[in-house]
Structure 1
Amino acid sequence: MSSARYRPNASRPSDSPSDSPSSTTKNVATTTEEDDRRNKFTILDALRVLAGVLILSCGTSYLATSGSSLTWGYNPWWTRAREWKGLLRGTVHLTDAQLATYDGTDPSLPIYLALNGTIYDVSSSPGTYGPGGSYHFFAGRDAARAFLTGCFAEDQTPDLRGVELMYMPIDPEPGHPDYKEPGERRELSKGERKNRHARELREARRRVREGLEHWHTLFRGDKGKPYRRVGEVVREEGWLEKLEKRELCEEARKARPVRKDL
């Protein structure tokens, strides 16, 4: 009887490491990790996208504004290199007497002007604020009152007391189109007159603040002018009370609005 021959079982699973369950699990885990890395959006990726958008916006703004602005006309102080240079140089503090030396007559000094206690450097416009310039009378002083009243010769002072009167309405005089004879208009009671005065005074003071802010905006450089804030005027306590109180100049009196709601 012939001996039986050994035949390997064809259905026996392979013992190859690559086909083992543990190896398959590892392969699936590795593939999942690679997919996660490819799909993960990191903070660095976000910064790259933002930087690209910013550069594109600046380039488009430069082309759209014919090279005048990289920020679509938006010109806050932190976008201006001269402001950062000014911060490094520090803030100046000058008395009114010291400020007077910065009127452009000394070419070794910058040209300063002040507005309601804030000092601005306007050296970039010597033809305007320097000697012989059309607004040289503003240089080296705080003429906040004149900026509002328009009386440049008389109101070269920081004293703003009473300047709000230029915005308070007056009754129309005979001959004015809005004038009414006493019998044609309703007389207000004492309380109504008091309330009207308070309302008009609030509105006048608001317009004073807005008028000053208009000029602050210009001298801060927010409107594109190469000016900048450099410091503050130093004044002793009670300085305002020592000045003689002013009346409204003629030009400001003539500009007062006429009351219509009589």
Structure 2
Amino acid sequence: MADEPSVRRRKAEPKSNDSPSSEPVESETEVLKEQIPKKPKRKSPQERLDDDAAYSTASLCLDILRVITFIGLAWIGLSYLISNGETYSWGISDPPKYLKPEWWMKQFRGPVYLTPIELSAYDGSDPFKPIYLAINGTIYDVSSNPRTYGPGGSYHYFAGCDAARAYVTGCFAEDRTPDMRGVEDMFLPLDDPAVDKYWSKEELEVLRKNEREEALKKVNDALRHWVEFFRKKPEYEFVGYVKLPEGWPGTEPRRPLCEQAAKGRKKRVVPGHEGR
């Protein structure tokens, strides 16, 4: 038996109950396929028509009611906010300018050009017209301040005209004109032989030239102050421009300095003699 060349094979052991199941195992590809959501089936035209028919009249009425409710609440809320709690129904006693039709008309019509005669019709005497004033050729609507610029107001002289000269001289009644010629004289010293003798003729000429340049600068600065005042006031709306005749102001005589402005002129002061 020991010489037998063949080797016996050991029989396979029987599988225990703990061994893996003999059922086939799903591959990873099949598992992934099951996890991917399937695309919905495209409905046929008839099915879509059936779905539309299912949208009942009651549902449509409910959606309309929701929209109307939202608009109503928004209407009430905006009225309360814009009126600062005054009203819920837009009955504002003094509505903002963007709620006034005339304000929107102004935005689309562009600047207005008025002659001095046409501008005079807007001085506040007509309650159905706005109050306009002009300064240095630019027209503003000052209707928001009728107590000041309307009839009886302290600055009614400025309404219905371009009174640029009066803003500088302070002569409201006399200088209701945009003609600024000679206004610089109010800032020039008075000539006095007893004082001027301290300068030679050449020195006096140079001095007078410098004094006039300084006076013109003061006039320009004073006028610019009022121009900027009206330009930056949000309640005073820009309207347009004054249309002056060709050749103006050369077509009119030169105006004298008004009495109030002339009274402010002083004699020239000699250096070293200040206060004497």
Normalising by structure 1, we get a TM-score of: 0.59
Residue 160 of structure 1: which of 172, 180, 187 is its match? 180
Matched residue SS, 1:200:
helix
* Distance in 2 (alpha carbons) for counterparts of 1:191 and 1:172: 16
CA contact (8 A) 2:168 2:222 kept: yes
Matched residue SS, 1:93:
strand
Residue correspondence of structure 1 range 1-262 to structure 2 within 5 A: 87-171=107-191, 187-220=198-231, 222=232, 224=233, 226-262=235-271
AA at the equivalent of 1:121 = D
The offset of 1:123, in angstroms, is: 1.0
CA contact (8 A) 1:218 1:225 kept: no
AA at the equivalent of 1:201 = R
- Structure possessing the higher radius of gyration over alpha carbons: 2
The offset of 1:88, in angstroms, is: 3.9
The offset of 1:229, in angstroms, is: 2.5
* Distance in 2 (alpha carbons) for counterparts of 1:161 and 1:254: 18
CA deviations on 1:163-204 (whole Å, 9 max, x unpaired) are 10001122579xxxxxxx66xx86322221111111111111
AA at the equivalent of 2:123 = D
AA at the equivalent of 1:243 = E
The Cα RMSD (Å) is: 2.8
* Distance in 2 (alpha carbons) for counterparts of 1:109 and 1:148: 28
Matched residue SS, 1:231:
strand
The offset of 1:119, in angstroms, is: 1.0
* Distance in 1 (alpha carbons) for counterparts of 2:239 and 2:259: 33
Higher relative contact order (Cα pairs below 8 Å, separated by 6+ residues): 1
The offset of 1:98, in angstroms, is: 0.4
The offset of 1:87, in angstroms, is: 4.8
* Distance in 1 (alpha carbons) for counterparts of 2:205 and 2:236: 43
CA deviations on 1:202-258 (whole Å, 9 max, x unpaired) are 1111111111111112211x2x56213321100121131222221111110111244
* Distance in 1 (alpha carbons) for counterparts of 2:183 and 2:248: 18
Structure 2, unpaired ranges of 5+: 1-96, 272-276
* Distance in 2 (alpha carbons) for counterparts of 1:87 and 1:211: 31
Aligned residue-pair number:
173
What percentage of aligned pairs have identical amino acids? 51
Normalising by structure 2, we get a TM-score of: 0.56
* Distance in 2 (alpha carbons) for counterparts of 1:121 and 1:196: 43
AA at the equivalent of 1:126 = P
* Distance in 2 (alpha carbons) for counterparts of 1:167 and 1:261: 17
The offset of 1:134, in angstroms, is: 1.6
Structure 1, unpaired ranges of 5+: 1-79, 174-180
